[in-house]
Amino acid sequence: MRISALAGACVLAAGLAALAAGLYYDQDHIFQWTHFAESSNLTKGPVEAQTAKIFTLIGAIASAFGATVAAGSAALARLGGRTGAWVLRLTSVLLLVLMLLVTVVLVVGSLTGEAPVAIIDTPWWLLSAEWGALILAILGAGTATAQLWRFVPADQAEAA
């Protein structure tokens, strides 16, 4: 087991835990930061704000679950030998793919579509922290994946 793969898994878990904390704080204060644009439909703005709050809470719960799974997989990889290494391999790849998909959906969704009625002015420091935590988690998952999926010939593997 490569130490850098375990370090990558720990960075992945820390990044997801930080993202979960930021998203939870964000959803808890979302109504304080929301104002509504003029609209002919008076219920659309509050519904959009409530929907944003619900999806932010779901993201926080999913991030905390991902952090727990990553940390558990890292511990199992450290203690579980070959089986633990395979669990960490699969976990890091799965989390990396899921995070990249969510990132693409968020970026594309923010660049397309109609203007929202509920305008949420999340503070820049919180948005920066959330994006930083996501990038940290992606880098950790990428490092763990790259280190764990590097195959070497059998004679070199036994010497290491």
* Angle formed at CA 86 by CA 85 and CA 88, multiple of 5 degrees: 65
- CB count within 10 Å of CB 61 equals 13
On the question of pLDDT at 150 being above 80, the answer is: no
pLDDT value of residue 80? 83
Q: Binning pLDDT at 50, 70 and 90, where does residue 128 land?
A: very high
For residue 111, the model assigns a pLDDT of 83
Looking at every residue in the chain, the average pLDDT score rounds to 86
The burial of 32, by beta-carbon neighbours within 10 Å (0-12 exposed, 13-18 middle, 19 or more buried), is given as exposed
pLDDT band at 152 (very low <50, low <70, confident <90, very high): low
pLDDT, residue 156, reads 58
Give the pLDDT score at 2: 59
